[in-house]
Amino acid sequence: MDEFIVTTLESVPGYRIRKVLGVVSGSVVRARSIGRDIVAGFRNLAGGEIKEYTELMAESRDLAIRRMVEKARAMGANAVLGMRFSTSAIMSGAAEVMAYGTAVVLERE
């Protein structure tokens, strides 16, 4: 199995769990920038989606997943099952995005 699987499912059709390695996570703390805040402020006045923050959060989720996968690979995993996201405010203007799940070794059935 060359690919690395990340899924919110508890199992993967066509595979069996050979070994459970444990909980794995990756996180990133990102702060808003003054440039994004100015543009977002104008968008907030007009209403609608604040694309600058949508992009910031999407980048943060992607980075959290990459860090989680790096940790899982270092443990010898080839998959993370039950992946979830968690977010929390760290301080005004900064938030943590965490991706977490169970690192496992899968094999084809």
Q: Where do the structural domains in the chain lie, given as residue ranges?
A: 5-108
CATH for 5-108, options being 3.30.110.70, 3.40.50.1000, 2.40.50.100, 3.40.640.10: 3.30.110.70
**Separation of alpha carbons 41 and 35, rounded Å:** 10
pLDDT value at residue 41 = 60
pLDDT value at residue 2 = 67
pLDDT value at residue 30 = 85
pLDDT value at residue 93 = 76
Please identify every stretch of the chain with a pLDDT value under 70, giving residue numbers as ranges: 1-2, 32-47
**Separation of alpha carbons 69 and 21, rounded Å:** 13
Residue keyed to tokens 């702060």:
31
Burial class of residue 91 (count of CB atoms within 10 Å of its CB; 0-12, 13-18, 19+): exposed
pLDDT value at residue 45 = 60
pLDDT value at residue 71 = 98
pLDDT value at residue 80 = 98
pLDDT value at residue 76 = 97
